[in-house]
Every structure is written in C-alpha cells, then in structure tokens.
C-alpha cells in the first residue's frame, strides 16, 4: 500500500485468467508454506493451482522489502528441511538474512523444484465459497480466475493483511507515503528528505537506523516503546556453516521436537532469584553479548513466567537503553515500562537505540500526544505540526486472521467467516473452522504461528494436511469438517493456557488489540510446537477425533 507515484510491489502480470477450471487443491499464497504445499501435493499426484497476489514468490519476504528488513532467526535454521541437497548446497552469507537473500532463496526453491508453473501471479483471491451440493470450493480472484477444487489450503500468511491506521487526511498528503509491508520494488530515496516513521515494533525498529542514515531528518512517532535486543548479526563463518551442515539431520529433528521449533542450546541458570544482583548481571551480560539475543529470554527459568522475575530482566534491558542513549529524557521515553518483556514480540535490532543519538533524529511521544491527522504538509499530533516529505507506516497487520477475513469466505449454509469469527477466531487445532469443510489453514489462529519458527512449522503443518488429504482420498471421503464441540474445547484450552502467561499483560497484536473493534482473544497456540504437533498427530490416530468425515456431499453439522 503506497501513496507514492511509484508502483507497489504487487503488480498483476498479464497471464490469462483461469476460468471455470477444476483442481484437486487450491493453495492460496506462494510464501514459504505455500511453496512447500505445492511441492508436497504435486508429489501426491494431485492437480494443484496456487493463487498469489504478488508477482513473485516469497510471501512475507516478497512484500516486506522495507529498508532494514531482516529475519530475526538464524538462517541456518530459518530455511527448508524437506530436501537435504537443498540445505547442503544453499549458502547463507549472514547469520540473519536480509529480505533480498530470503526472497532469492524462495525464487531458487520455486525454480529448482519447478513450482512456478503451478502459480498464478498477480491473482488476489477475493472470494471463496463452499458449495454443499458438490462439496467443492469455488475460488475466484480479483483478476477473474475461477477455479473449483475439493480442498483449499490457505497459506496466506499470519502477517499479511496490512494495517494502515484510519488517520483523517491521508489522501490530502502532498508527499509520498508507504506501508512497510507493501514497499515498492523501486528504490525509495530518503536523501535530503524529511521522513516520519510511525510505529516502533519489529519493523519500525529495523527501518529507523537505515532511514536515518540518509534522511535529512527522521521523526520517529512512538506510541509504545518495544524491548529490543541486539541482533549481533555478522557474516556467517565457514566453520559454523560446515558444522551446521554436518549435523542438519539431527538438528532438524531436535527443532521439530522443541517448543519453538528452533535449535537453541542454552545454559539455564534456574530462578533469577537464586542469584545475587552481581551474579545476575554477569549472567545477563553474557546472554546480551551472545549471537542471539533471544537466548536472554531463556537464560533464567522464571523470567517468562513471573512478573517479579520478568521485571529484573526488563530493568536490565532498560539499563542498556540508558547506557546507549545519551539524552536521558529520550532514553526514558524509549524504556518500555507498561508491559513485561516478552509479552509482545521481542524485537531484534541493529543500532536502533544508537539512532537516537544522531542529530537528524527526533523521537516523538504519540502516546502522550496522539496523531490526529495527516495534513497536506505532513502530520499533526495533539501537540504539534510536523512537515514531512515521506511518511512510513510501520503500523503492523490485522494479524493472524486478517488475510482470511478479507477474502470473503463463506462455508456450509452460506455462513460468512467474518460472522463466524465475530467474537473470536474459533477453530480446531489451528487447521480447520467448523462449518468450513475441506479448508485447511497454515499458520492460522489456534496454531503456534509466530511463537515458533515458521518455515519448519509450516512444513510440518503442510505434511499434516497432505496426510489427511491422502487418507480422505484413499478412503473415498468427500469432506472433512471440525465439530463445534471440538472447536469449543480447543478455544477453552487456548484460553486456559494463555491465561497463565505474561502475555495477558500486553495489548498486542497477538490478542487483536492493535485493530480497533477486533475481538480480543489470544490467537496463538502457546503450549509449544512440540506439544501441538503431538496433539494434532494424536487426534488423527484416534480416528479423527473432533472431526466429522462424510463420504457423500451431505451438509455437515452447522456450528
């Protein structure tokens, strides 16, 4: 989404629309999970069509090409495991890959495995309708494709539906504006420009240092400060890469059996209260200096569970901010104090706090004085006017559910997904929504999503769906649906788990708090990827407990 004269990243290509075609499976989205779904389902001999709104593959790493975009999980891990030759041959230049390297990798995979021919680019799905009589999904796109399929796999991304706050006056702005997740492919020059950056989550924190490097002046409009740890990114040493490649098989297996689907050996020190303040500081300094700041969160066993223990870690991080930022008032404004560390997605930065020591950077508190309007010349807060040439919205997403609810999905009996999810995004095992047969979600609500490493968990979810499809087709079933009872039980389990964690103390996108009017519930399965995978496997082994399977196209029980 952009208000500039330059074209946005997602441009429809000229390929002819597919009209009234049939397929076994429609995959929505050619991001990392969607690409793997194409690979996996084609191997089953199924006819697969993929619709991708962009004109290239990579999903998140196609759209989020904003300055400074970089993954915050090591690339040796944040990569596909399904093909050993691929993981042995591919070379990651840095620990944490920049967007361009991730996009190049997605393109390589699409070409190497011949997946591109299955994808219709520039084809944004705008309607998905389940027809009960035939048990078929009718999927159509904005550019006119119409495909009927038995199954749909929605691999459309947990962080895809762009959130641009509804500030009055945006249309009147005389400069250029961009949302970070719809960044143009063409270079955006900040040279000599007065830039305003709204939002200081993971994205804003990555963008600010890069933009500040060339802008005449950067105003960072901050509503809530984030906890950010140093990424300590650097070129990947050959011996480290060699060591990983020599142990890929067992490490990937360990990742699949871990809470976050990552390989992160960490020395745990027990309770933070078992140590003197000096000992704690020494241990936390080690973690801070480590290659991966996320290790910090796991160094002590109780900082993620108890508010008192968490406060010790939070204060350590605030101390780091105060050490780096020379103006004490600015430092204090950058110190998060209203929620526990880890209760919102922890950020990883490269020089974020140092940015505020630059003479061309100003931090503006829009908690105290909110943005009231975009004006022709810039932006107005409750306290002041700011003249700007470029506005960057790093304001996040209608996360987890937004990509599906914006697609006009109707299930059995014509029920609208938005109506079904009006109170909460009810689902079963994060895969299915009762009343929407044969529609499988990847990284949807109810799954571990962003709380685990998404390429590995995406591969696992796709494998689960593929094995379900195999079972259904082999045994002659027309449809599978979740039961409303199983869905209720899954919601209750999700609530119970989330209610015991520190996540409840933050107004985060995890609970939908960033979107006005969005129902509030913790949308992500928090019991760990390992437990989640066991549960999903078990439910299938137990004769598809919680699902109804039908051989004919008769209506499934409506929720």
Binding site for ligand NAP (CB under 6 A): 70-72, 159, 165, 198-204, 206, 223-224, 345, 348, 366, 371, 394-397, 450, 509, 514
Q: Report in angstroms how near the CB of residue 14 gets to ligand NAP at its nearest.
A: 32
Q: Report in angstroms how near the CB of residue 229 gets to ligand NAP at its nearest.
A: 11
Distance of alpha carbon 361 from alpha carbon 382, whole angstroms: 20
Q: Which is nearer to ligand NAP, 118 or 524 (CB)?
A: 524
Structure-token pair, residue 401? 């559910």
Q: Which is nearer to ligand NAP, 61 or 477 (CB)?
A: 61
Q: Which is nearer to ligand NAP, 355 or 483 (CB)?
A: 355
Q: Which is nearer to ligand NAP, 152 or 208 (CB)?
A: 208
Q: Report in angstroms how near the CB of residue 400 gets to ligand NAP at its nearest.
A: 10
- Contact between 291 and 95 under an 8 Å Cβ cutoff? The reply is yes
Q: Report in angstroms how near the CB of residue 204 gets to ligand NAP at its nearest.
A: 6
Q: Report in angstroms how near the CB of residue 482 gets to ligand NAP at its nearest.
A: 27
Q: Which is nearer to ligand NAP, 223 or 251 (CB)?
A: 223
- Contact between 48 and 42 under an 8 Å Cβ cutoff? The reply is yes
Q: DSSP character for 94?
A: B
Distance of alpha carbon 417 from alpha carbon 425, whole angstroms: 9
Reduced to 3 states (helix: H, G, I; strand: E, B; else coil), residue 289 is: helix
To 5 degrees, how large is the angle CA 269–CA 503–CA 281? 30
Q: Which is nearer to ligand NAP, 143 or 380 (CB)?
A: 380
Q: Report in angstroms how near the CB of residue 525 gets to ligand NAP at its nearest.
A: 15
Q: Report in angstroms how near the CB of residue 3 gets to ligand NAP at its nearest.
A: 16
Q: Which is nearer to ligand NAP, 141 or 401 (CB)?
A: 401
Distance of alpha carbon 471 from alpha carbon 466, whole angstroms: 9
To 5 degrees, how large is the angle CA 232–CA 237–CA 241? 110
Closest to 84 in 3D by CA, of 243, 235, 246 = 246
Q: Which is nearer to ligand NAP, 314 or 415 (CB)?
A: 314
The 8 Å CB, 24+ separation contacts for 252-255 are 252/81, 252/456, 255/77, 255/81, 255/453, 255/456
- Contact between 165 and 393 under an 8 Å Cβ cutoff? The reply is yes
Q: Report in angstroms how near the CB of residue 506 gets to ligand NAP at its nearest.
A: 9
Q: Which is nearer to ligand NAP, 18 or 506 (CB)?
A: 506
For the chain, how big is the Rg over CA atoms in Å?
23
- Contact between 487 and 551 under an 8 Å Cβ cutoff? The reply is no
Helices 454-474 & 529-541 angle (0-180, nearest 10): 0
Q: Which is nearer to ligand NAP, 448 or 546 (CB)?
A: 448
Distance of alpha carbon 526 from alpha carbon 153, whole angstroms: 23
Determine which helix (DSSP H) or strand (DSSP E) holds 459, and give its type and residue range: helix 454-474
Q: Report in angstroms how near the CB of residue 199 gets to ligand NAP at its nearest.
A: 3
Pairing of strands 136-141, 125-131: antiparallel
Determine which helix (DSSP H) or strand (DSSP E) holds 353, and give its type and residue range: helix 352-355
- For 382, counting Cβ atoms within 10 Å of its Cβ (0-12 exposed, 13-18 middle, 19+ buried), the class is exposed
Q: Report in angstroms how near the CB of residue 464 gets to ligand NAP at its nearest.
A: 23
Q: Which is nearer to ligand NAP, 39 or 393 (CB)?
A: 393
Q: Report in angstroms how near the CB of residue 367 gets to ligand NAP at its nearest.
A: 7
Closest to 450 in 3D by CA, of 301, 347, 350 = 347
């Amino acid at each position: 989404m952009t208000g500039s004269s330059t074209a946005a990243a997602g441009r429809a290509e000229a390929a002819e629309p597919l009209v009234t075609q049939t397929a076994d499976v429609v995959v929505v989205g050619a991001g990392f999970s969607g690409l793997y779904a194409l690979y996996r389902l084609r191997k089953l001999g199924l006819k697969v069509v993929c619709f991708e709104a962009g004109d290239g593959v990579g999903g998140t790493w196609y759209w989020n090409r904003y300055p400074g975009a970089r993954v915050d999980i090591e690339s040796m891990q944040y990569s596909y495991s399904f093909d050993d030759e691929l993981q042995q041959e591919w070379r990651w230049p840095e620990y944490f890959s920049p967007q361009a390297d991730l996009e190049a990798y997605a393109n390589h995979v699409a070409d190497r495995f011949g997946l591109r021919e299955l994808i219709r680019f520039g084809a944004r799905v705008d309607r998905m309708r389940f027809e009960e009589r035939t048990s078929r999904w009718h999927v159509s796109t904005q550019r006119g494709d119409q495909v009927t399929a038995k199954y749909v796999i929605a691999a459309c991304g947990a962080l895809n539906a762009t959130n641009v706050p509804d500030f009055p006056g945006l249309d009147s702005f005389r400069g250029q504006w961009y949302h970070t997740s719809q960044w143009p492919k063409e270079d955006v020059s900040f040279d000599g420009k007065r830039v305003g950056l709204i939002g200081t989550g993971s994205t804003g924190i990555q963008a600010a240092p890069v933009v500040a490097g060339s802008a005449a002046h950067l105003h960072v409009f901050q509503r809530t400060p984030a906890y950010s740890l140093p990424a300590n990114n650097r070129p990947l040493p050959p011996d480290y890469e060699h060591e990983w490649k020599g142990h890929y098989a067992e490490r990937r297996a360990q990742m699949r059996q871990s809470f976050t689907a990552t390989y992160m050996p960490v020395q745990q020190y027990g309770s933070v209260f078992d140590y003197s303040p000096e000992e704690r500081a020494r241990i936390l300094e080690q973690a801070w200096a480590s290659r991966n700041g996320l290790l910090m969160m796991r160094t002590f066993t109780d900082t993620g569970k108890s508010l008192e223990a968490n406060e010790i870690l939070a204060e350590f991080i605030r101390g780091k901010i105060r050490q780096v930022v020379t103006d004490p008032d600015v430092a204090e404004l950058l110190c998060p104090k209203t929620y526990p560390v880890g209760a919102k997605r922890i950020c990883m930065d490269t020089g974020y706090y140092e940015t505020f020591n630059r003479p061309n950077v100003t931090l503006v508190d829009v908690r105290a004085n909110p943005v009231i309007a975009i004006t022709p010349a810039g932006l107005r807060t409750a306290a002041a006017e700011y003249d700007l040439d470029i506005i960057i919205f790093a304001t996040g997403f209608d996360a987890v559910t937004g990509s599906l609810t914006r697609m006009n999905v109707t299930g059995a009996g014509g029920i609208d997904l938005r109506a079904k999810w009006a109170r909460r995004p009810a689902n079963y095992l994060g895969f299915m929504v009762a009343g929407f047969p044969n529609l499988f979600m990847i990284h949807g609500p109810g799954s571990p999503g962003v709380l685990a490493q998404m390429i590995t968990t995406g591969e696992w979810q796709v494998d689960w769906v593929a094995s379900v499809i195999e079972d259904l087709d082999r045994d002659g079933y027309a449809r599978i649906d979740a039961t409303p009872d199983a869905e209720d039980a899954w919601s209750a389990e999700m609530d119970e788990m989330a209610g015991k964690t520190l996540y409840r103390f933050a107004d985060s996108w995890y609970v939908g708090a960033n979107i006005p009017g969005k129902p509030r519930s913790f949308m992500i399965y928090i019991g760990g990827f390992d437990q989640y995978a066991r549960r999903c496997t078990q439910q299938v082994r137990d004769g598809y407990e919680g699902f109804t399977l039908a051989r004919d196209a008769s209506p499934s029980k409506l929720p």
